[in-house]
Amino acid sequence: MNPLSSRHALRPFLAGLCLCCASIAIAAEDGWSQSQVALRRLTEAQYRQTIADLFGADLQIPGRFEHDIRTEGLLAVGAARETYSPGGLEQYDLNARSIAGQITDAAHRKVLVSCGPARANQFDEKCAARFLGRVGEGLFRRPLSANELKDAVRVATAAFKAQADFYLGLQYALVVFLESPNFLFRVETAHVTESGNYELDAVSKAGRLSFFLWNAPPDDELLKAALSRSLNTRGGLSRQVERLMASPRLEQGVRAFFSDMLGYESFERLNLDPAIYPRFNNAVASDAREESLRLIVDQLITEKADYRDLFTTRKTFLTRRLGSIYRVPVANATGWSEYEFSPDAGRAGLLTRAAFLETTSNPGTTSPTLRGKAIRELFLCQHVPPPPGNVDFSIVQDTKNSILTTSRLRFQAHTREPMCAGCHKIMDPLGLAFEHFDGTGQARLTENGTPIDASGRLDNKPFNDASEFNAVLHNDPALASCLVSRALAYGIGRAPGEREQDALTVLKKEFTADGYRYIDLLRQMTSSDYFYKLDVPKNDEQKHAGSRVSAEKQTKG
């Protein structure tokens, strides 16, 4: 029997872990996260990537992950305000025991544990220290302190004494690592500069840089640069930025950012009515998501195109399943084919593709409101107030109404109610531009036999359909400005504060001057001091310096 399956055996570790979690939660409540030193919970993707980087992609991770919370438009910002629930902790525990068991099983230990005693019933302390030191550094994204390593070896020794198996001893120590907040949270620490400002220390810098560009922990070279303080020099930082940006792993980081910015976690709960949309299924949804991410990577990284062109390009990548939705030919029977829509297909830009159209629809109908809201919030960084609790949606849901045959007519009737009119006026005209596409993204010219009118105005600029709308959106200064704000917030883990508006202005100006090249924005942002500085109000300095020290103590405990 695997002793790790015994909850009794884990009790001491769980108790310690709970104490640790509690202290972090208290720190967060105490205003630590609000004071700009981020303590961010690893996202599921980051957790998986870390395990894959350190131990190989073949390791199974059986547990579920708690949903991340979207704050200020980003999960990455919400991650700085999250702890975990007792249910979530159970899942982390399940994952930790499973991963530790796999690392030390007979098949993996030969590769992953490079040393070992002659016989498993002997304990090799040097080997245990070497292995745990290396693995701990990878998981905590920093070298272990002497005490941390000593504690880990002590756990392995104690477990060995009970079980008489060297590898079971390592398993126990690994479980402690994998359940530690130092692994599950990205802990960023700061120091005070000569000018009196707070700045991330080099190891935290490395983590911020790596998670921003790769959505993965720092590799050995980046960590080495941090430990040698080379990362604190302009040249050293620049070398690492260029190296990370030249890596194929940059795509992973770009995908993670846009998945977050575009709210793609909504794909997990996307469920369109099969009676109304029989062509929709999970595979179509998965392809739709991948289509848009491929297009983003192609346009922004491969082609180094103007970010705004993402909203007007007719280029895309398709599978046969998506071809069936778009009713266009797809060359390859399996996998992906590049494709360019014809000018009269009305498929100009990211917003005319299945991913946006599906995630902004109701299960059985399109929703001009959801589509308009998404454009305002996701792409223009504008805030749309939530609807009041007592709204009567009966008119908009009556899709078979013989008089109000189109969405436009139904929403016009709905917005005659004064309490609804204000918000709908800023959302619906934008969403109605996409009425030529149904809830799965299939083109249509009529609804209930009535020709669809997709015309409208965006801030007084007229358009007749989605393509024209996208052309107007392309030239809206808020489009590019929103991307810069979101990217910075994503990187630093919080919405830019009042005192960072100057930096934001500079970034936006440079982004414009560079021709809206996202790749240049990434370089500019990660090479700049403000990406690593902290916006701490002067009168709080003392308090936060104290918080930092206490947080360090807590996380090491």
Which residues of this chain interact with other proteins, rule CB under 8 A? 274-275, 278-281, 320-321, 323-324, 327-333, 337-342, 345
- Nearer CB in complex with other proteins: 210/319: 319
Dmax (CA) for the chain in angstroms is 84
- Nearer CB in complex with other proteins: 114/282: 282
Residues 209, 198: Cα–Cα separation, whole Å:
17
- Report which secondary-structure segment, H or E, holds 181: helix 181-184
Q: Kindly tell me the sign of the dihedral angle through the C-alpha atoms of 33, 34, 36, 42.
A: positive
- Nearer CB in complex with other proteins: 12/364: 364
- Nearer CB in complex with other proteins: 55/326: 326
- Nearer CB in complex with other proteins: 333/403: 333
- Nearer CB in complex with other proteins: 51/318: 318
**Cα angle value 506/507/511 (rounded, 5°):** 120
Distance of closest approach, residue 342 Cβ to other proteins, in angstroms = 3
- Nearer CB in complex with other proteins: 333/445: 333
The SS3 call for residue 102 is helix
Distance of closest approach, residue 347 Cβ to other proteins, in angstroms = 10
Distance of closest approach, residue 343 Cβ to other proteins, in angstroms = 8
Amino acid at 286: S
Alpha helices in 400-465 (DSSP H): 407-414, 418-432
Distance of closest approach, residue 282 Cβ to other proteins, in angstroms = 11
Amino acid at 254: V
Distance of closest approach, residue 300 Cβ to other proteins, in angstroms = 19
- What is the DSSP code (8-state) at residue 457? E
Distance of closest approach, residue 213 Cβ to other proteins, in angstroms = 28
Torsion of CA 440, 442, 443, 445, to 10 degrees: -70
Residues 398, 259: Cα–Cα separation, whole Å:
33
CA 163 to each of CA 170, 328, 434, 516: distance values in angstroms, whole numbers, following the listed order: 11, 63, 64, 61
- Nearer CB in complex with other proteins: 57/333: 333
Distance of closest approach, residue 438 Cβ to other proteins, in angstroms = 14
Beta strands in 295-447 (DSSP E): 315-318, 337-340, 446-447
- Nearer CB in complex with other proteins: 110/327: 327
Q: What are phi and psi of 338, to 5 degrees?
A: -75, 145
327: left (phi over 0), alpha (psi -120 to 50) or beta: left
Structure tokens at 494: 């919080």
**139, 223 in Cβ contact below 8 A?**
no
Give every CB contact of residue 506 below 8 A, 6+ residues apart in sequence: none
- Nearer CB in complex with other proteins: 95/316: 316
Structure tokens at 88: 């979530």
Distance of closest approach, residue 341 Cβ to other proteins, in angstroms = 6
- Nearer CB in complex with other proteins: 274/477: 274
Distance of closest approach, residue 442 Cβ to other proteins, in angstroms = 10
Nearest Cα neighbor of 97 from 66, 63, 64 is 63
Q: Kindly tell me the sign of the dihedral angle through the C-alpha atoms of 229, 231, 232, 236.
A: positive
Amino acid at 557: G
Distance of closest approach, residue 489 Cβ to other proteins, in angstroms = 36
- Nearer CB in complex with other proteins: 183/341: 341
Distance of closest approach, residue 324 Cβ to other proteins, in angstroms = 5
Residues 182, 549: Cα–Cα separation, whole Å:
15
Residues 253, 259: Cα–Cα separation, whole Å:
10
Q: What are phi and psi of 192, to 5 degrees?
A: -90, 130
Residues 440, 355: Cα–Cα separation, whole Å:
9
**Cα angle value 428/434/436 (rounded, 5°):** 130
Distance of closest approach, residue 336 Cβ to other proteins, in angstroms = 8
Within 13 A of 46's CA, how many CA atoms are on the CB side?
A: 30
- Nearer CB in complex with other proteins: 22/331: 331
Distance of closest approach, residue 275 Cβ to other proteins, in angstroms = 7
Distance of closest approach, residue 311 Cβ to other proteins, in angstroms = 19
Amino acid at 404: L
- Nearer CB in complex with other proteins: 340/529: 340
